Amino acid sequence: MNIDAMARAFKALADPTRLRVLEVLSRGEHCVCEIQRHFEALPQNLLSHHLRVLKEAGLVLAEKRGRWVHYRLNEPRLEALRQSVPRPGPQEREACVCRGVVEAK
């Protein structure tokens, strides 16, 4: 996953409502009307906006069936995002330039 795609995905995740949408979808595929039940205080057009942002970031997949759009998590993309976060590893660190300065004093 390239840096721009990672930034878009993390920006999409930086909203509590969108995180709650992902939480709902973690229990399985839902149509928009089922998702809306979890967000009764949120206007439908705003929920649609959040779903669009998640879809554009590649975090959810959408499929139109009749009048309704069904959403589900894009598991491979979410896993790629998880794996893209740098983690400290066992590799050796390069000697810091400041160590030589401190030791010379």
Among the listed residues 49, 55, 53, 50, the one whose alpha carbon sits nearest the alpha carbon of residue 72:
55
| Residue 47 and residue 31 in contact, taking contact as beta carbons nearer than 8 Å | no
At residue 10, what are phi and psi to the nearest 5 degrees? -65, -35
| Residue 44 structure tokens | 């439908």
Q: What is the pLDDT of residues 55-86, one digit of tens each?
A: 999 999 999 999 989 999 999 999 999 998 87
What was the pLDDT predicted at 104? 55
Please indicate, yes or no, whether the overall pTM of this predicted structure exceeds 0.85: no
What was the pLDDT predicted at 87? 77
Q: Are strands 68-73 and 30-31 parallel, antiparallel or unpaired?
A: antiparallel
| Residue 9 and residue 53 in contact, taking contact as beta carbons nearer than 8 Å | no
Rg (CA), the chain: 20
What was the pLDDT predicted at 2? 86
Comparing 102 with 78, the larger pLDDT belongs to: 78
Label residue 48 by pLDDT band (50, 70, 90): very high
Q: What whole-number distance in Å separates Cα of residue 18 and Cα of residue 12?
A: 7
Among the listed residues 46, 55, 67, 65, the one whose alpha carbon sits nearest the alpha carbon of residue 22:
55
Place of tokens 């439908």: 44
What was the pLDDT predicted at 10? 94
Residue 1 has pLDDT above 90, yes or no: no
Comparing 102 with 73, the larger pLDDT belongs to: 73
